[in-house]
Amino acid sequence: MTDTYGYIRVSSRDQHEDRQLIIMQQKEIPEKNIYIDKASGKDFNRPAYKRLVRRMKQDDLLYIKSIDRLGRNYEEIIDQWRMLTKDKRVDICVLDMPLLDTRMGKDLMGTFLADLVLQILSFVAENERRVIKERQAEGIAAAKKRGVKFGRPRKPLPENYSDVYQRWKSGQITAVAAAKELGMPRSTFRYRAKVCTFSPPEK
């Protein structure tokens, strides 16, 4: 007896799986056979997906909303597809791409077309992610040029920093003593000494 399953993944914990869940329910998939992961796409550590793979057997049917539910890049998507269809010998139906339904075209030509479409879509999905990352990097670079600061704001230097720095620079005190006098770790003092230098006042 074959069973039908659904797999849902959202890319962050801020997203909701409601839309994907409704689609799966419309396919009359038993609730116990719907597996949901809420995790980042940065890694493939998806406990629900792993349980699903262990449970499925030959000739079972798996529904996924889109091809990128299987992986974060071209290689992962191809590897997971082949593992499921060749090793586990289960059928897959990609809901937003009717051509990717292994129940159709079981002959050589059908398999060839499905594999071809899969490789094209996987490449497109990975390329889209790369473009998004490039745009994010460009946006950050442009923001930095405009003076936008990222990360936690740096604490202001103590009022006596200039005096302590000059005494350390001239060898009157050690870095340990300077850091203690300023109330900061020695590593912080050394870093500040590199980026925040002061020249002695002209007489």
User: Phi and psi at residue 162, in whole multiples of 5°?
Assistant: -60, -45
Name the nearest CA neighbour of 4 among 155, 14, 25, 68: 25
Backbone angles phi, psi at 84, to 5 degrees: -70, -45
Radius of gyration of the chain (CA): 28
Residue holding tokens 């442009």? 142
Helix (H) or strand (E) holding 92: strand 91-94
Tell me the helix, strand and coil percentages in the chain, rounded to 5.
50, 10, 40
**CA 30 to chain centroid:** 30
Provide the annotated active-site residues.
11
Structure tokens at 63: 């529904």
Q: Which are the contacts of 129, defined by CB distance < 8 A and separation ≥ 6?
A: 72, 73
Strand 91-94, strand 34-38: pairing? unpaired
